[in-house]
Structure 1
């Protein structure tokens, strides 16, 4: 037991006890990057393993779990909450006990007004999952089918951040690295070039690259892509009993508000359809 874990015996350290509990319920067998060959009988992940997964230093995490008085940035706390798979009440507890206030509301890019007609269109495309996103991939509206497929949207509205920082994404997004991760980062590079003044896009890039080692490796490949419209992707979701489901991505932009994008997932024939993607071009960073 490390010095940080011993400090949990302090009865006044409520946050420390919660963090230890949240660590203990993680299934290390389902987490990429955790060596399970020489596991202890103790469940969950260690402080060192969690710090690595969340993209923070071990000393930073131990200080948080020990109840020390330090400045903990909101970005780091958000990454930690995602890594621990905290629901909204638990995320609020993490922020309240560590920095004294609730987590900030999501910051959205551009004009995000979604009118009644757009909401109606989400319902008209049922039973296909559909959502409306901003230029930084934040979901601002969705239909019931989308929430059934992706229940995490209630706690993490940003698709890209979830894809890189949530521990379930690699299992649910088939061919995660080559198809999903590479494409998202290639699109993010183009979005940053098109919106150089967007603080939200810059923040998203920093959070993803800081929190995911593989994202940093893929980013260094200098690939670019404008959109994923028309591509076939595959999911392995709990709502489908773990079966692989293939969809065609349809991405549409309303002419009166091109800051928004309407995404519809159309079931592709045959659940074993191969995952395909537009060729990603290499560029100079």
Structure 2
């Protein structure tokens, strides 16, 4: 626990909330003059035992439950970046999930210009794998340039997707489906992800892979066989990143090498000298 940073964050945000906005009456006589809600009032609003919030803000609450942190974050109106800071200061780890279900569903509009400037195939999806932005190079990967509305559904359920993801049953499905399970672990109320999971479990080809319980593999740097609509068969190396304003969203840059054999050399790891 980083007590100093935790205390500073919580004090600053608590001071911004007028007690009157939550039905409290500020005393006009002698007494408390500090701005914002009192620690006691925070306990009242969160329906917690008196002294709970004081323990948190003072850094004397080791391993506070995520439910308490989430309630405090929502009461104080924290954004996703502040929510991440709160969890790191209090728990020394990233949040168990987004603060708001709407988080991860939108990105700044400049991302379209950014992906347009990428030479390789590039696209951005939201936290549910719904398409947000893509470049012209990416459209050429698909027959008739028909970019799928949801990349996860295309990869695991669409027959066209399975045909273009070569060696689908060994190189793609076992790697992609655990990503769906991992996303649902942090976003259990996401209706789009839940619907895809339902379809996956009902499909005899995908259900065994999904039920296998394999660990979540990140695609960053992975290389897999792919059929390009214009360039034919080849190998695609994936570069994955996340827009920081949209937890769960993902930027994918796909570096494609034509050929049935993996003949190109793999780039070495980049390290600071």
Q: TM-score range by the shorter chain?
A: 0.5 to 0.7
Over residues 131-171 of structure 1, what are the superposed CA-to-partner deviations in whole Å (9 max), with x where a residue is unaligned? Answer: 00112211111111111112577473111212233222232
Greater Cα offset, 196-205 or 153-162: 153-162
- What is the alpha-carbon distance in structure 2 between the residues aligned to residue 238 and residue 269 of structure 1? 11
2:190 aligns with one of 183, 195, 198: 198
Distance in 2 (alpha carbons) for counterparts of 1:234 and 1:217? 22
Could you list the runs of 4 or more consecutive aligned residues of structure 1 that deviate by over 6 angstroms after TM superposition? none
Q: 1: CA distance between counterparts of 2:200 and 2:230?
A: 27
Unaligned runs of 5+ in 1: 1-107, 275-285
In structure 2, the CA distance between the partners of 1:155 and 1:177, relative to structure 1 (3 Å rule), is same
Shift of 1:269: 8.2
Structure 2 residue 252 is matched with structure 1 residue 259: no
3-state DSSP of counterpart to 1:201: helix
Cα distance in structure 2, aligned partners of 1:219 and 1:164: 10
SS of residue matched to 1:217 = helix
- Structure 2: gaps spanning 5 or more residues: 1-100, 264-273
Q: Assess if the C-alpha contact under 8 Å between 1:110 and 1:134 holds in 2.
A: no
Tell me, yes or no, if the aligned pair for 1:232 and 1:268 is still in contact at 8 Å.
Answer: no
Are 1:272 and 2:272 an aligned pair? no
Is 1:119 matched up with 2:89? no
Q: Does 1:239 align with 2:246?
A: no
Q: How many residues align?
A: 163
Aligned CA distance change for structure 1 residues 166 and 238 (closer, same or farther; 3 Å): same
Cα 1:123–1:163 shift into 2, 3 Å: same
Q: In the aligned structure 1, how far is the partner of 2:163 from the partner of 2:102?
A: 29
Kept in 2, the 8 Å contact 1:248–1:267? The answer is: yes
Give the TM-score normalised by the residue count of structure 2: 0.54
Q: How far 1:180 moved relative to its partner?
A: 0.9
Aligned-pair RMSD on alpha carbons? 2.4
CA deviations 1:72-102 (Å, max 9, x no partner) are: xxxxxxxxxxxxxxxxxxxxxxxxxxxxxxx
Question: For 2:112 and 2:128, how far apart are their aligned partners in 1?
Answer: 20
- Whether the 8 Å CA contact 1:131–1:264 is kept in 2: the answer is yes
What are the equivalent positions in structure 2 for 1:51-130 lying under 5 Å apart? 110-126=103-119, 128-130=120-122
1:231·1:248 contact (CA, 8 Å) conserved in 2?
yes
Larger Rg: 2
- What is aligned with 2:126? 134
Q: Give SS of 2:206's match.
A: helix
